[in-house]
Amino acid sequence: MRLQLNVHRSSGARAVLVAAVLVATMPLSAVRADDHVTVRGAYYREASTRVIQPVVEISKDLPRGFDITAHYLLDAITSASVAAGTSADTIFTEMRNEVGLALGKSWDRWRATMAYQYSAESDYWSHGVSGSAAYRFWGDSATLAASGGAAFDGAWPRARTPDCPTAAELICKLRTYFGSLSYTQVATPTLLFQVGVEGAYLDGFQASLYRAVPNLGYEKVPLKRWRGVITARTAYYIPSSRTGLQLHYRFYRDEWELTGHMIEPRVYQGLTRDLELRASYRYYTQTSAYFWCDWMARPDCYGPSAQFYTGDPKLQPVHTSMPELKLTWDAFRWRGVPFFGWFSEGAFEISYAYLIQNTSFGNAHLIQMGYTLPY
């Protein structure tokens, strides 16, 4: 299931970063669900923002090759930000609730899914639908997968009339249509390659409801945006040392002339029968949108006749790096132990990442903990 999130406030955008880090640990191609319950929590902290994000997911196999997955997610965002509609140095807490449901069907060499997701907070809501299909061939050594969907978002500002195409309804709307195609090839029993392409078209309000540019007012950005992504991944396993190696690359380009590159090497190392360590390092760099300028350094860089203007740090040249360590422990050693034996069939995980970025958001800490129990 692909999650499509669109948030119009700076605090919400940081919450999306937490979700993006969670989703980045998932494989690109859909696999059959098994019976499990997963409880996961994430804590994200930067200079002016705290995000606590609990997630619960339940998957169940059904008769005749069907399976169903449901999840609930809560973002509790505490921040101090003028861009969120508050006065300077005012602390506020915002809640974002998200629910999702996915139905899958597997037969022969085919796998298909349909999914729905709903997300809402005090000044924002989103409905998203998606579908995917995957086909295995060449003796199950290759998989071709395709997906597509749409998201329909609405946002309304606090205490002001919005400047957007649907202002007569006091709601700023955004429609997003997206699709992807990926190919996975198992070259040897220990070597795998994967490539993919993704595309999205955004039509509607894409600015912040509250972020303003001095002397010009609330920011304005184009209403149309095409996005394109190319991905590549390779994975190699060394059985003698129980070591897994992965390399991920992602290229991004959009209609606003923003170009981004992401590269992430990962090393998985089995330490004992029940303990695995993952070490990774992610580097990301991007150019700025064509209409962005540094008005804090050059207050006159946007002239009085500027058609588009923004104060969004995510549209400037961005450079980030993020080292991360993750431990996964299989709790089978607790079998037969009073009380703890209830958890012996599952696995615990904990990770820590440090995000280094050149934007005004500042550097950030990200801690994740989770437990998955098959049933």
At residue 184's C-alpha, the angle toward residues 181 and 190, to 5°, is: 160
- Give domain status of residue 4, yes or no: no
User: Phi and psi (nearest 5°) for 201?
Assistant: -125, 125
| Domain total of the chain | 1
Bridge partners, residue 284, by sequence: 262, 320
Mean pLDDT of 155-170: 73
- Give domain status of residue 145, yes or no: yes
What residue type is assigned to position 198 of the chain? E
Domain extent at residue 99: 10-374
SS3 190: coil
What is the model's pLDDT at position 88?
46
CA 308 from chain centre, in angstroms, equals 27
Mean pLDDT of 337-349: 96
What is the model's pLDDT at position 5?
30
Comparing 164 with 192, the larger pLDDT belongs to 192
pLDDT band at 47 (very low <50, low <70, confident <90, very high): confident
What is the model's pLDDT at position 316?
96
- Give domain status of residue 244, yes or no: yes
Percent of the chain with pLDDT over 90: 74
pLDDT band at 166 (very low <50, low <70, confident <90, very high): low
Whether the per-residue pLDDT at 159 is higher than 80: the answer is: no
Whether the per-residue pLDDT at 182 is higher than 60: the answer is: yes
Q: Do 151 and 176 form a contact (C-beta atoms < 8 A)?
A: yes
CATH code assigned at 234: 2.40.160.40
**Helices and strands (DSSP H and E) totals, the chain:** 1, 18
What is the model's pLDDT at position 20?
36
* Burial per residue of 217-252, b for 16 or more beta-carbon CB atoms within 10 angstroms, e otherwise: ebbbbeeebebebebebebebeeeeeebbbebebeb
Whether the per-residue pLDDT at 24 is higher than 50: the answer is: no
As given in the structure block, the two tokens for residue 151 are 């998201």
User: Phi and psi (nearest 5°) for 84?
Assistant: -100, 15
As given in the structure block, the two tokens for residue 356 are 């280094």
pTM of the model: 0.87
Q: Do 241 and 268 form a contact (C-beta atoms < 8 A)?
A: no
- Give domain status of residue 150, yes or no: yes
Whether the per-residue pLDDT at 292 is higher than 80: the answer is: yes
- Give domain status of residue 3, yes or no: no
Q: What is the dihedral of CA 28, 195, 174, 149, to 10 degrees?
A: -60
What is the model's pLDDT at position 23?
35
- Give domain status of residue 2, yes or no: no
Whether the per-residue pLDDT at 161 is higher than 80: the answer is: no
- Give domain status of residue 37, yes or no: yes
Q: Do 40 and 374 form a contact (C-beta atoms < 8 A)?
A: no
Q: Give per-residue pLDDT as tens, 244-269.
A: 999 999 999 999 999 999 999 999 99
Q: Give per-residue pLDDT as tens, 90-131.
A: 567 889 999 999 999 999 999 999 999 999 998 999 999 999
- Give domain status of residue 338, yes or no: yes
Whether the per-residue pLDDT at 26 is higher than 60: the answer is: no
